[in-house]
Amino acid sequence: MNPDPDDNPLGGAVTLNSRLREPALAAAINLAMVVISLVVGAAFIVVGGWYVHRFHMDEFIFGRTTAQGRVIENHPSGEVSGKTTYMAIVYFKAQDDRDVTIDDWLGMNPPSFRVGQSVTLFYDPDDPQHAMIDRGWKNYLPLGIPGGMGFLMILGGIQRLRARALPR
């Protein structure tokens, strides 16, 4: 049974499926996806780098002076989803024997550290108030997550671009 073109509810209009099969339109969509992947991927990498630089984590991770500190308080810092978050207040002695107390930049519930717990800190010897707690591999998450996502998006864009250039 052949379908009658007059029975088409779209009034004889070309369906979207058949339009998407046209090589020119498919190539245009593919090119748009390549551009979007490359731009968004680069943006993820730039935002990750900005975040690391904004909080001076690059200085702490690559040019570090370390000290041992002690958590003296878990200070309530705000609320997330109805739960109070706590930031550690840490005391340590700088290289020049100055007593320094810093607030952690990250509030968590439950608190990340126990009162009395010993922690390693990275700090600027010229300005010991400029310090952060060493969280090991977690120090790299602010750059690693957006950097990894950006890398994968750029890789996907390049893969689409290469597939487009291959002869068929």
What is this structure's pTM? 0.59
CA dihedral 148, 131, 89, 77 (to 10 degrees): -50
User: Measured between alpha carbons, how far is residue 164 from residues 14, 17, 36 in Å?
Assistant: 26, 21, 15
* Average pLDDT of the residues in 55-72: 78
The β-bridge partners of 88 are 74
Q: Tell me: pLDDT of 88 over 70.
A: yes
141-165 vs 23-54: helix axis angle to the nearest 10? 160
Determine the pLDDT at residue 15. 63
* Average pLDDT of the residues in 120-148: 83
From the CA atom positions of the chain, what is the Rg in Å? 27
Instruction: Categorize the per-residue pLDDT at 78 as very low, low, confident or very high, splitting at 50, 70 and 90.
Output: confident
As a whole number of angstroms, the distance between CA 24 and CA 162 comes to 17
Determine the pLDDT at residue 16. 61
pLDDT tens, residue by residue, 112-133 = 899 999 999 888 888 888 888 8
Q: What number does CATH give the domain 64-136? A: 2.40.50
Q: Tell me: pLDDT of 33 over 70.
A: yes
Burial environment of residue 14 by CB neighbours within 10 A (0 to 12, 13 to 18, 19 or more): exposed
Instruction: Kindly state the DSSP code that residue 113 receives in the 8-state scheme.
Output: S
Give the strands of the sheet with 127-133, arranged side by side: 99-103, 83-93, 65-80, 118-124, 127-133
Determine the pLDDT at residue 166. 66
Which token pair is 104? 């952690």
User: Measured between alpha carbons, how far is residue 148 from residues 103, 127, 152, 153 in Å?
Assistant: 29, 32, 6, 9
* Average pLDDT of the residues in 123-152: 83
10 or 140, which is more confident? 140
Instruction: Categorize the per-residue pLDDT at 82 as very low, low, confident or very high, splitting at 50, 70 and 90.
Output: confident
Q: Tell me: pLDDT of 19 over 70.
A: no
